Amino acid sequence: MSQWTASRHGSPASVAPAGEAGFGIGDGIFGPWADFEWTTGGANVLTRGVVPATAGRVYEVRAKFRVRAGDGNYTFNLVMARMDALYADAGWSGVFTTNVTGGGVTEIVGLFSDTASAGVAAWTPETVWLRFGLRNQNTEAGMSVRVASIRVTDVTEKIAAQNSANAASASASSAQSSANAAGNAASSASSAADTATTQAGNASSSASSANTSRAQAASSATAAAGSASSASGHANTAQTKAGEAASSASSASSSAASANASASSASTSANTAASHSGTAQSAANSATSQAVIATDAAAAAQSSAVLSASIAAASINPNPVFADWPTGQGHPTGYASHAGSPAIERVAGVTSPYAYNVNMLATNASTVGVKTTNYTAAQVISQNMWVVLEVDMQRVAGSLAGSCALFRALPSSGGAGSQDHRIDFNNDADIAGIVGDGGTNVRRWRKLVQITSANAYGWTIFLLNRASFVPGYTTTTTASNLIYHRVAFRPATDQEIASKKATADVNALTATVSTQAGVISELNGRTSSYLEMVTAAGSASAAVRLVAANGATSGNGSGIELQADSIRLGSSKLRAMDVVGGNVTFHGRANFVGGLMVSPSGQTSVDMTTGTMVFNNGVTMSVKGTGFGSSNQFMEWTGPSQSSLANCTEANAISFLKTNGQAYYAGGIIAGTLKSSMSNTSQAASASTSTGAITSNGNTVSVNGSYALRSAATVTFPASTTGVNDYNAALTAFGSATSYDGGFSHEGVKTNNPSGSFSMTIKRDGGTLVTHSAINGSITLYGLRPTPGDAGGRIDYTYDYWSSTTTSDPYLNTVARTYSAEFSRGFTYSGSIQTQYISVTSTEW
């Protein structure tokens, strides 16, 4: 219970542990738990650790508990304790008040940030540190509360991811609208093009008519001229010919007028055709533009929204793994060039989607690199505070000489730095103990430092490829290419401060959340949509994937994939299944309402409608059920393989158990009308027991002799690193232990047949009926892992040995007889004996 406290303020290193009434590791509902007997209003339990009150961060607090005793009506809330830079009391709030009735499992969930909004409680501006917990609101009598967990999680990036997913959904909707508009515009363009083609045809016809009319007019004019000439030569016919000429001239004039009209019509038609052609081209261009917009919007809708988060204890500085880096932005959010002109590139990261590639081209400048903005909005560091500097960096090219990550403590004014700490990449060993350039793999540095400046308030970080104040710096022109995957500093843990060594396991301190959604339409008429959310913390990950597809020729299909080591179901998060070592373990009670389940091999089937379970390897068959067989007389039956359960009978059975309790085992019935049984619990190496004189009806008597021994041993382990190592070595030696609570406890069982002699003899009236020498054994392990500096550990070993045999008395008469069983133990057992017994049982129908 060293990680919980009743104090609302005070340094994590000095607050007293919570005073619980009891604690344990499992009660059938919770895993580890602690009981508290609260009678006064305001009684509470809080996390010993604290989180920084960083502007813009959002914390989710979950308190899970149940009331074990009381009057049945209670009121609880979440308590937010506020502290200044020195962990002094800066006030508290009881929020998200919840009324509880009965003793069921309750979980209160609340969000906290620096700005209040719907469903979010805010801390005050002067707050530097926060501690959260569960609080009893009212005075109670005889109330006992069992608390399972109080969890504080930084969900800033998770909420941002949700917002990004909503934005992606809106983009997808916009893309669909744009695609529809593009389709409409393309349709209009096609119609306009058709109209232009028709009008162009009309213009061509009109132009042809005009040419014909003009030719006719020329011909008429020539005829008129010929007539006039003839008139001058033939006076007698001049009048007649003059009239004909006049008529021809009139006809020519009419034809010319018609030609002019046709030409005008052709010109108008041509202009109309050109206008429609222009309209068609504009519509086609518009359609193309709309299609491009739709494609871009659809691509935006399908793009992944990937965010990385640091849990509360992992990072004081925001954006520690550069996940906040919008496309088109020169640097990750919060960073900018410091000196020189390094080439910056966003590349794929190993702990988040992005990494910070700072490429310094050949230069002899004294300082080249990048830096964060100065943070002095609120006090997040203070004098005597221990922090851990963390850098994961990859040298792509060049030397590390003169390069460093410099962490600078700032005064509240944001002026000259009050204290510098740095990691010298060429001189400080990484967590693998490597100094200097090393390879081109991702290397990790961790450094524990103490802030000693009295005016420490804010901070800033420099990432420098060249710095004249770093040992190894040279004035010679050099170049280097460094990729940063993580740059952070965080409060040191109690263990780190005590050991004066930073922990290297950043995998447990970082997490990522990625969300992808998209809609895809293919030319062959197939459409599909998908939604994917993946969370990762170090090497652990969990994912939910949904996909649906509709194909004109390929048909419809959909699927849901759950990827996790452990699955919880229902509002109370009941433990349903775990994946351990590639195997799935199911928990809890499952109700099957019907249907037949058959194994892939067909050798095992469970039929819920008939209540039977069948094991059939094709030669021998074993069946269990509530009533089956030729007359529904069996609950268990074993014998030759049968095509139907109705073929199971007494005659073809190797063994059976009837619904009336009669049992038959390869020639011996051991449940009948006359039965006698006696036992001896002596722990000696040999002992015997007998039924005493018993009567008989003259039928077959089955006699069973049974032996069992149980011993136990306990090994303890100190609360130290050595204790943990010895505990782990013991688990490895055992070879088959499993943990179901993240490594807090372990359990397992394996075969352990003893070496050495053993014999058990069944007798009738002192004469031997059968002697049996086979004996079996097993070891059961249950272990609790030690916690260095807190609690020791232990492993309890339980050893079981057993033997049993059944025989039939060949004498069928009514004479009274005495049956006895005796054993002699020569094998070596482990631990100390807890129980041992020998028993003899006779049964006659």
Residue 515 vs residue 175, higher pLDDT: 515
Grouping H, G, I as helix, E, B as strand and the rest as coil, residue 330 is coil
Alpha-carbon span 128 to 116, nearest angstrom = 17
Closest of 401, 411, 328 to residue 375, by C-alpha: 411
Give the chain's radius of gyration (CA, Å). Answer: 45
Contact 528, 552 (CB under 8 A): no
What is the reported pLDDT for 190?
52
pLDDT digits (tens, 9 = 90+) for 115-174: 999 999 999 999 999 999 999 999 998 899 999 889 999 888 888 777 765 655 555 555
What is the reported pLDDT for 681?
94
What is the reported pLDDT for 274?
47
Above 80 in pLDDT, residue 212? no
Alpha-carbon span 323 to 164, nearest angstrom = 13
Determine the CATH number of domain 309-508: 2.60.120.260
Closest of 535, 509, 510 to residue 306, by C-alpha: 535
What is the reported pLDDT for 761?
97
What percentage of the chain exceeds 90 in pLDDT?
47
Alpha-carbon span 717 to 731, nearest angstrom = 12
Q: Identify the helix (H) or strand (E) that includes residue 703.
A: strand 701-717
Grouping H, G, I as helix, E, B as strand and the rest as coil, residue 758 is strand
What is the reported pLDDT for 543?
80
Residues in the chain: 845
What is the reported pLDDT for 530?
60
Q: Identify the helix (H) or strand (E) that includes residue 599.
A: none
What is the reported pLDDT for 655?
84
Mean pLDDT score across all residues of the chain: 79
pLDDT-derived band at 580 (thresholds 50, 70, 90) equals: confident
The owner of tokens 């420098």 is 464
pLDDT-derived band at 488 (thresholds 50, 70, 90) equals: very high
Residue 208: C-alpha distances to residues 203, 254, 445, 522, 725 (Å): 9, 18, 89, 48, 104
Above 50 in pLDDT, residue 752? yes
pLDDT-derived band at 553 (thresholds 50, 70, 90) equals: low
Contact 188, 281 (CB under 8 A): no
Determine the average pLDDT of the residues in 448-468.
93
Above 80 in pLDDT, residue 241? no
What is the reported pLDDT for 719?
94
**Class for the domain spanning 4-154:** mainly beta
Alpha-carbon span 609 to 778, nearest angstrom = 37
Specify the pairing of strand 354-363 against strand 634-640: unpaired
Count of CB atoms within 10 A of residue 222's CB?
Answer: 11
**Torsion over CA of 751, 757, 762 and 767, rounded to 10 degrees?**
170
Determine the average pLDDT of the residues in 81-107.
93
What is the reported pLDDT for 590?
67
Question: In 3-state terms, the chain is what percent helix, strand and coil (to 5)?
Answer: 20, 45, 35
What is the reported pLDDT for 59?
94
| Alpha helices per DSSP H over 234-354 | 238-302
Comparing 92-96, 500-504, 763-767, the range with the smallest average pLDDT is 500-504
What is the reported pLDDT for 484?
96
Q: What is the DSSP letter of 526?
A: -
pLDDT-derived band at 294 (thresholds 50, 70, 90) equals: very low
Contact 467, 457 (CB under 8 A): no
Alpha-carbon span 283 to 551, nearest angstrom = 32
Number of continuous H segments (helices) and E segments (strands) in the chain: 4, 47
